[in-house]
Structure 1
Amino acid sequence: MLKYTDYTIVFQEVPDEVSLAINLSGCPYRCKGCHSPHLQQETGEELSERVLSGLLQSYAHAITCVCFMGGDAQVEAVCRLATYVRTEWEGRLRTAWYSGNDIIDPAAAGCFDYVKTGPFLEALGGLDRRTTNQRLYRFTADGFKDITFKMQR
């Protein structure tokens, strides 16, 4: 069961998008310096289509994107919910996934408009640093395009 701990509206996770960021628990990674270590535990409430639909009905007027933060332990469930957003909201909302994996899971290609990959390596910094190992991709007709540079100043 995919669980979430909280959510918030954010402006910096995906370029040019106002995102409803949903924090998913059960992260299998143990990144040193993790900014959300509480997400490593299996805590929170189930994130079902019904719960997600309620959130979207409340916030759809204020957002352009739904960003799933984590969920690497249950890739199929995250992809299912992203597909639900894309289908039920008929392209009005884009989807993003922040994964700690180094590679893009093949299932993500049809589910997400954006995918962030890579574990947080404290010495290299996050997406806002040019030294980062993390990458942010946008899905295009030609596949995933690296847009990490848009996160850096």
Structure 2
Amino acid sequence: MELDAVDWKILSLLQQDGRMSFTALGREVSLSAPAVTERVRRLEALGVITGFTAVLAPARLGLPIESIVRVRVRSLDTPRFRAQVLVLPQVLDADHVTGDDCWLLRVVCRSMAELEELVEVMQRYGDTTTSLVFSSHVRNRPLSPELFG
């Protein structure tokens, strides 16, 4: 699919501020609000824009423990792992990956005890390796047209 420079500018602005009004977007890209609205709706229909969301700070909400858990799920246990672990509210991200580990999970917890219980649940389905996150230097980096040559 071909996106022009105006589409990319709109996408860039919305990735920075998903609450930007169509009027403000129009001012930034030199289009009327209805024209910007039409472009945004087209980008949504094409599946380029998949939603708008607020980004929260888990630690400020009482979830100071963040970790990455790699899980090597036994193949026969994969459906149960998906049904029992991926639905847990502590699991923020779950990527099914290649390599020695099958799953890469980003989780948040209120305490180390809660993390320990969570990992014990995951261990019912295979081996785990848990890494605590000290800090995150790149998170939700916006996509840019430079990636597409």
Q: Check whether TM > 0.5.
A: no
Which category of TM-score, normalised to the shorter sequence, fits these structures?
Answer: under 0.3
Flag the structure with larger Rg. Answer: 2
Give the structure with the higher percent strand.
Answer: 1
- What TM-score, normalized by structure 2, do the two folds share? 0.26
- Using CA pairs under 8 Å that are at least 6 residues apart, name the structure with larger relative contact order, 1 or 2: 2
TM-score, structure 1 length as denominator?
0.26
Task: Name whichever structure is richer in helix by fraction.
Answer: 2
